[in-house]
Amino acid sequence: MPKKYDTPLLDELEKGPFPSFVTEIKKAAARTEMAAAELGVLERCYREKKTHWKHGGIVGVRGYGGGVIGRYSDVPEDFPEVAHFHTVRINSIAGFFYTSESLRTICDIWDKYGSGLTNLHGSTGDLVLLGTTTDKLEAIFAEYSSRGWDLGGSGSAMRTPSCCVGPARCEWSNIDTLDINYAVTQEFQDEMHRPAFPYKFKFKTVGCAVDCNASIARADCSIIGTWKGNIAVDQAEVANYAKAGMDIQAEIADLCPTQCITYAGGKLAIDDANCSRCMHCIAKMTKALKATGEKGASILIGSKAPFVVGATLSWVIVPFIKMEAPYTEFFALIRKMWEWWDEHGKNRERIGELIIRRGMREFLEYIGVDPVPQQVKEPRRDPFWFWTEDDLNQKPWEAYTK
Amino acid sequence: MALPQRRTDIGPPHYKDFLPPVIQKNYGDWKYHEVINGGLMVHVANSGDKIWTVRIASPRLLATDTIREYADLAEKYCGGYVRFTTRNNVEFLVSEEKNIEPLVAELKAKKQMLGGIGPRISNIVHTQGWIHCHSACTDASGLVKVLMDEFADYFNEKTLPNKVRFAVACCTNMCGAVHCSDIAVVAIHRKVPRIEHENVKNMCEVPSTLACCPTGAISPDPAKKSIKIKDEKCMYCGNCYSVCPALPISDSEYDGVAIVVGGKVGSLRSDPKFSKLVIPYIPNNPPRWPEVAKAFKIILDAYIAGAKKHERVGEWVERIGWEQFFNITKFPFTFQHIDDFTIARETFRTSAAFKW
């Protein structure tokens, strides 16, 4: 029987309607020494209002440089069962779809070797196994990989890519987010398992600008589905929305950021040339409005959390690219970006920070992408810019002054 | 017992093997969806086929016992098919309409919380906290529990002007999109790291420790074979502690949480936005952080009272102006609210038009 700790503070967090993580730890603590000790440590963190975990020390499986995060208690004498309490990241399935059978397999292996505690899922999208020891890692890896599951990314590597539910269960997806996510993961297995970058690199793929995976806020490479054609209007469905009580003028036309929608005489009209594809009208009138024409994605680069120079949102690099298998053009573009980042990036410098440090021009020229207005909110405000020898020989004004 | 043969670089299993037959058949061919209630929606394909999604909240931290329960329910009502959302909800994918009612009844009997769909509060994206992280200055799971208990009605029953996305980050590293959430907690330190000179010598690489500091506050201390920190330049981000474990920064008395407001990630109506600081510090008060729940309630109530339909929190604040936000919430405006980091000048008011 695992040791039982008194947890008066944590017990307070078993009250209330939301499912309790404390109850979860207690379930595992009834079976495993590690989960029991985790509960004890956590109660102490609550009592002392500080963490009792340490990092440092490289742990992993043979042939891989990532996928396992070393974690240690700073009070091992009091909680020897969690002196070592490593995290294993399992690469999740695109769209987080599972079968009951696959979930049981995952649980069976983890119950054999670990604390019985998991995260479904970690912030990046891994299936996270919380709490095991160094000597168990090879066995865990053999058991999972022999059944078709591989480790995810950690450290200065490509991290486990993730995506929205996409065409599997959404009418708005302009690209096959699941297939792109799977293809990226398979294409860059080496970059994921053997960290060789200046810092981490994340891919997140979403089918439209609603961005249900927060791609624009937390991916070095945000792949966001879009389209080039018009929005098809089903006027009968528009009438149904009006009949059901929607104030189409106030809720749709007035909230259109480009004011390209008019609603008169019960008919909705869209000036497609002035639509910026923000998704508001489509999202609110999904039965009536559909994106049509050529589908593809915008590639944005650079978002990350605040470390080190402040948080960034991704910005447009390639406004439109067809994202169809086998994604040859896209993979070539990514390899060029990584080459440039490898060449110039400092330790712990994300690719977006490097672009800010060395300038968009150098980056765009290296990857072979032309400057276009879609890449900026507005042109430069200052009068300080560079001319290359080649620029000096160009006469672009001749085209529009003839 | 001999271990099975390990395989490397195989990547994850192929997603096609995990999709319900109705999804495989109608993949990329969905026509529309309808939100039936907070915990139930239906997607209808061009073929006329339907799939129902029953959504429940999970605490993200799950014992295998609970995952097995999800598997049992999926098998009983969904042909074994279940998925998770990026916000840690569990979605039971029901292909046969007759299975919805008994599934919902069983989930309710198990005291599961149904909801999160539509203009409501969904589950909270969060980080590891005291459960497992070396740099945590609060516990993320505890705060999530407290906030979701407080606003449970807005997860399943009540609706809001638009969806409201909460997030909790247990330090400024912000694993998860806290920096672009409607209302979020980010935990902070307020004291400079302590230098364990003996350990710096043995555990840390001095050049990378100097380089990791966003404000250049760290310099070498050759006499001690260690480093020095210029206290007045340190803004307590803790990045140096992640690089060099001999610079502990956590502090029981002075650590706590800040609250940021008004971020979003979608491009609908207005561009994606960062969250902005509204409360620079509330002390850690575990196990239930009542002051944090109270502050969230003040913000959410003000949003409900003031926002137009479809406005996100950030859109509402931008329309009324931040000076009005502080008037309404009565949160004190302090030196900490005025940016002095890398993009400070973008945030100063360069106009003579404002409200009182």
User: What is the per-residue pLDDT for B2?
Assistant: 87
DSSP string, A305-327: -STTT--B--EEEEEEE---TT-
For B150, list phi and psi in degrees, rounded to 5: -60, -40
Contact A98 B43 (CB under 8 A): no
Is A319 a domain residue? yes
Residue A219 confidence (pLDDT): 97
8 Å CB contact between A199 and A345:
yes
- Are B63 and A55 inside 8 Å of each other by CB? no
With bands split at pLDDT 50, 70 and 90, how would you rate the model's confidence at A55? confident
CA of A379 vs chain B CAs: smallest distance (Å): 16
Which B residues, 71 through 130, put their C-beta within 8 Å of a C-beta on chain A?
71-72, 74-75, 80-86, 88, 93, 111-113, 125, 127-130
Task: For residue A394, count other CB atoms closer than 10 A to its CB.
Answer: 10
pLDDT of residue A58: 82
Work out the mean pLDDT of chain A and round it to a whole number.
Answer: 97
Q: Range of A361's domain?
A: 162-227+295-399
B-proximal residues of A, 361-400, CB under 8 Å: none
Q: What is the DSSP letter of A345?
A: P
- Say how many domains are in chain A: 3
pLDDT at A290: 98
Round to whole Å and give the CA distance between B296 and B303.
11
Same domain, A270 and A325: no
What domains can you pick out in chain B, each with its CATH number?
Answer: 15-109 (3.30.70.3340), 125-190+252-347 (3.30.413.10), 197-243 (3.30.70.20)
Query: Looking up tokens 């604390």, which residue turns up?
Result: A115
Q: Residue A151 and residue A142: Cα distance in Å, rounded?
A: 11
Give the integer Cα–Cα distance in Å for B195 and B216: 16
Strand, coil or helix: what is A186? Answer: helix
Give A38→chain B minimum CA distance, Å.
Answer: 8
* Among candidates B93, B179, B267 on the partner chain, residue whose Cβ is nearest the Cβ of A279: B267
Nearest-Cα residue of chain A relative to residue B285: A49
pLDDT at B22 over 70: yes
So what's the pLDDT on residue B175? 82
Q: For B252-305, what is each residue's pLDDT tens digit? A: 999 999 999 999 999 999 999 999 999 999 999 999 999 999 999 999 999 999
For residue A363, the model assigns a pLDDT of: 98
Within 8 A by CB and 6+ apart from A296, the residues are A174, A175, A225, A226, A227, A228, A320, A321, A322, A323
Residue pLDDT, tens place only, B29-39: 999 999 999 99
What are the two backbone dihedrals, phi and then psi, of residue A55, each rounded to the nearest 5 degrees? -115, -175
Reduce the DSSP state of residue A99 to 3 states and report it.
Answer: strand
Per-residue pLDDT, averaged over B76-85, amounts to 98
Please check the confidence at residue B1 and state whether its pLDDT lies above 80: no
Asked if A21 contacts B61 with a C-beta cutoff of 8 angstroms, the reply is yes
Check residue B36 and give its pLDDT: 98
Mean pLDDT, to the nearest integer, of A248-270? 98
Phi, psi of A238 (to 5 degrees): -60, -45
Position A307 scores a pLDDT of 82
CATH number at residue A266: 3.30.70.20
Arithmetic mean of pLDDT, B105-130:
97
For tokens 């740099």, name the residue: B135
Average pLDDT over every residue of A302-311: 88
- Whether residue A1 lies inside any domain: the answer is no
Instruction: Indicate whether A38 and A182 sit together in one domain.
Output: no
Whether A171 maps to a domain, the answer reads yes
The partner residue sitting opposite B310, judged by closest CB among A149, A167, A251, is A251
Tokens 């002054």 locate to A401
A254 and A325 co-located in one domain: no
Are residues A358 and A380 both part of a single domain?
yes
Residues from chain B that touch A96, judged by Cβ atoms under 8 A, are 83-86
Query: Is A186 within 8 Å of A335 (Cβ atoms)?
Result: no
Same domain, A85 and A123: yes
For A313-343, what is each residue's pLDDT tens digit? 999 999 999 999 999 999 999 999 999 999 9
pLDDT tens-digit readout, A192-226: 999 999 999 999 999 999 999 999 999 999 999 99
Q: Do B173 and A307 touch (CB under 8 A)?
A: yes
Q: Are B91 and B19 in contact (CB under 8 A)?
A: no
3-class state of residue B130 by DSSP:
helix
Instruction: Find chain B residues with C-beta within 8 A of A313's C-beta.
Output: 180, 272, 274
Mean pLDDT of B160-178: 91
* Residue A198 and residue A271 share a domain: no
User: How close B330 comes to chain A (CA, Å)?
Assistant: 27
Residue A207 DSSP code: S
Handedness of CA A370, A372, A375, A376 (dihedral sign): positive
What gap in Å lies between CA B135 and CA B281, rounded to an integer? Answer: 18
pLDDT at B342 (0 to 100)? 85
- C-alpha span between A401 and B287 (Å, rounded): 71
For residue A44, tell me if it sits in a domain: yes
Same-domain pairing of A17 and A75: yes
Asked, for residue A339, whether it belongs to a domain, the answer is yes
pTM above 0.90, yes or no: yes
Classify residue B310 as left (phi > 0), alpha (psi -120 to 50) or beta.
left
Q: Which two tokens stand for residue A90?
A: 């399992």
DSSP string, B91-113: EEEESSGGGHHHHHHHHHHTT--
A3: in domain:
no
Closest CA in chain A for residue B51: A169
Residue that is last in its domain, among A107, A122, A146: A146
State the best of B17, B27, B64 to mutate against chain A, taking most chain A CBs within 10 Å: B64
Residues of chain A positioned with their CB less than 8 A from the CB of B74? 99-100, 103
Q: Tell me the nearest-neighbour CA distance from B222 into chain A, angstroms.
A: 23
DSSP track, B284-339 = --TTT-HHHHHHHHHHHHHHHHHPPTT--HHHHHHHH-HHHHHHHH-PPP-GGGS-
Are A190 and A328 found together in one domain? Answer: yes
- Pair A244, A351 in one domain: no
CB atoms within 10 A of CB B52: 21
Which of B265, B269, B275 is the mutation pick for testing A, counting most A CBs within 10 A? B265
Burial B154-190 (b: 16+ CB within 10 A, else e): bbbeeebbbbbbbbbbbbbbbbbbbbbbbbbbbbbbe
Yes or no, beta carbons of B251 and A162 under 8 Å apart: no
In a domain, A355, yes or no: yes
Residue A117 lies in a domain: yes
Could you tell me the CATH number of the domain that includes residue A126?
3.30.70.2500
Q: How many CB atoms lie within 10 A of CB B57?
A: 26
The runs of H, that is alpha helices, within A194-345 are 215-218, 235-243, 248, 280-284, 328-344
pLDDT at A28: 98
Question: In the listed set A114, A146, A178, which residue is the last one of a domain according to the structure?
Answer: A146
Q: Give dist(CA A93, CA A99) in Å, integer.
A: 11
Long-range contacts of B156-159 (CB under 8 A, 24+ apart): B156/B37, B156/B38, B156/B39, B156/B113, B156/B114, B156/B115, B156/B116, B156/B120, B157/B38, B157/B115, B158/B120, B159/B118, B159/B119, B159/B120
| pLDDT tens figures, A112-137 | 999 999 999 999 999 999 999 999 99
Q: Of A120, A146, A172, which marks where a domain is finished?
A: A146
Considering only CB atoms, B57 lies closest to which of A13, A19, A98, namely A19
Using CB atoms, which residue from B31, B145, B214 is nearest to A13? B145
Among A residues 31-50, those touching chain B with beta carbons less than 8 Å apart? 35, 38, 42, 45-46, 48-50
User: Band of the pLDDT at B154, cuts 50, 70, 90?
Assistant: very high
Cα A116 from Cα B67, distance rounded (Å) = 10
Give the Cβ contact number of residue B351 at 10 Å.
6
Whether residue A271 is found in the same domain as residue A242: yes
Q: Which of A50, A167, A307 is nearest residue B239 as measured by Cβ atoms?
A: A307
Give the integer Cα–Cα distance in Å for A110 and A130: 9
Regarding whether A283 and A328 lie in a shared domain, the answer is: no
| The amino acid at A8 | P
> What is d(CA A270, CA B105) in angstroms, rounded to the nearest whole number?
44
Q: Are residues A244 and A371 in the same domain?
A: no
Number of residue pairs across A and B with CB atoms under 8 Å?
A: 370
CB within 8 Å of chain B, chain A residues 206-265: 209-218, 250-251, 255-257
